[in-house]
Amino acid sequence: MLDLVREIGQTLRNNRLRTVLTGISVSWGIFMLIVLLGASRGVTNYFEYAMSSQSNNVISFWSGVTSMPYKGYKDGRYIGLKSSDIDAILHDNPGKVSNVIAFASVDTARISTSLDVLTNGFEAVYPGAQATNGIEMSHGRFINERDIADARRVIVLAAKNARLLFGSDSLAVGKTVQSLGLAWTVAGVYDHRWRSQSMVPYTAYKAVTGHTDEAYELDVTVEGLETEADGKAAEKSIRTTLAQRHEFHPDDPNAVWVWNSFTSYLTNKAANRYLELAVWVIGIFTLLTGIVGVSNIMFVSVRERTHEIGIRRAIGAKPRSVLAQILAESVAVTAIFGYIGIVAGTFVLQIIASVIGDVDGFRNPTVDISIAVKVTVALIVAGAVAGLFPALKAIKVKPVEALRDE
Does residue 96 share a domain with residue 31? Answer: no
Amino acid code (one letter) for 372 = A
Same domain, 236 and 125: yes
Q: Which of 375 and 188 is assigned the larger pLDDT?
A: 188
Mean residue pLDDT across the chain: 82
Q: Which domain holds residue 321?
A: 2-52+267-405
Residue 94 and residue 111 in one domain: yes
Using DSSP bridges, classify how beta strands 122-125 and 97-106 pair: parallel, antiparallel or unpaired: antiparallel
Q: Specify the higher pLDDT residue, 261 or 322.
A: 261
Distance CA 328, CA 306 (A): 18
pLDDT over 70 percentage in the chain: 84
Which of 8, 15, 34 has the alpha carbon at shortest distance from 376?
Answer: 34
Banded pLDDT at 51 (limits 50, 70, 90): low
Residue 360 burial by CB count (10 A; 0-12/13-18/19+): exposed, middle or buried?
exposed
DSSP track, 121-148: -EEEE-TTHHHHTT-EEEEE----HHHH
The conformational region for residue 317 under phi > 0 = left, psi -120 to 50 = alpha, else beta, is beta
Domain boundary among 226, 242, 262: 262
User: How much is the pTM?
Assistant: 0.65
- pLDDT higher at 97 or 52: 97
- Cα 291 to Cα 389: distance, rounded to the nearest angstrom: 12
Q: Within this chain, do residues 330 and 235 fall inside the same structural domain, yes or no?
A: no
Which pLDDT score is estimated for 265?
84
Shared-domain flag, residues 135 and 104: yes
Q: What is the band of 59 on the pLDDT scale with cuts at 50, 70, 90?
A: very high
**Window from 117-131, 162-176, 359-373 with minimum mean pLDDT:** 359-373
Query: Would you report the helix, strand and coil content of the chain in percent, each value rounded to 5?
Result: 55, 20, 25
Residue type, 245: R
Q: How confident is the model at residue 307 (pLDDT cuts 50, 70, 90)?
A: low
* Residues 297 and 232 both lie in one domain: no
Answer whether residue 235 shows pLDDT above 90.
yes
Q: Which residue has the higher pLDDT, 252 or 276?
A: 252
Q: Do 62 and 84 fall within a single domain?
A: yes
Between CA 360 and CA 150, with CA 138 as vertex, the angle to 5 degrees is 115
Residues 272 and 395 in one domain: yes
% of the chain residues with pLDDT over 90: 29
Least confident of 243-252, 317-326, 338-347: 317-326
Of 193, 312, 280, 247, the residue nearest 73 (C-alpha) = 247
- Asked whether residue 395 carries a pLDDT value surpassing 70, the answer given is no
Stretch (H or E) spanning 334: helix 319-356
User: How many distinct structural domains can be found in the chain?
Assistant: 2
Name the burial class of residue 352, with classes exposed (0-12), middle (13-18) and buried (19+) by CB atoms within 10 angstroms of its CB.
middle
User: Do residue 315 and residue 348 come from a single domain?
Assistant: yes
2-14 and 16-52 helices, crossing angle to 10°: 110
Out of 212, 229, 262, pick the residue that ends a domain.
262
pLDDT band at residue 246 under the 50/70/90 scheme? very high
What confidence score (pLDDT) does residue 111 get?
Answer: 92
Distance between CA atoms of 378 and 337, rounded to whole angstroms?
13
pLDDT band at 88 (very low <50, low <70, confident <90, very high): very high
Beta-strand (E) ranges in 159-216?
176-179, 182-191, 198-201
**Predicted pLDDT of residue 105:** 82
Sign of torsion over alpha carbons 168, 174, 177, 180: positive
- Select from 262, 294, 321 the last residue of a domain: 262
Q: How far apart are CA 12 and CA 18, in angstroms?
A: 9
Alpha-carbon distances of 119 from 168, 178, 214, 396, rounded to whole Å:
19, 12, 22, 84
Phi-psi region of 103 (alpha: psi -120 to 50; beta: other; left: phi over 0): beta
Q: Cα(299)–Cα(220) distance, rounded to whole angstroms?
A: 66
**319 and 220, same structural domain?**
no
Q: What is the mean pLDDT of residues 141-158?
A: 94
pLDDT at 330: 76
Q: Are residues 375 and 388 in the same domain?
A: yes
DSSP for 281-302, written as a single string: HHHHHHHHHHHHHHHHHHHHHH
What per-residue confidence (pLDDT) applies to 130?
87
- Taking residues 261-278, what's their average pLDDT? 85
Q: What is the mean pLDDT of residues 8-35?
A: 74
For residues 101 and 111, give the distance between their C-alpha atoms in angstroms, rounded to a whole number. Answer: 24
Same domain as 366, residue 350? yes
Distances (CA, A) of 268 to 44, 46, 108, 365, 401: 9, 11, 35, 18, 62
Instruction: Tell me if 190 sits within 8 A of 159, measured CB to CB.
Output: yes
Q: Which of residues 4 and 298 earns the better pLDDT score?
A: 298
The pLDDT, as a whole number, for residue 44 is: 78
pLDDT tens digits, 326-353:
777 777 777 888 888 888 888 888 888 7
pLDDT computed for residue 8 by the predictor: 60
Q: Is the pLDDT of residue 248 over 80?
A: yes
List, for residues 169-201, the tens digit of each pLDDT value.
888 999 999 998 899 999 999 988 778 889 999
- Decide which of 4 and 379 is more confident: 379
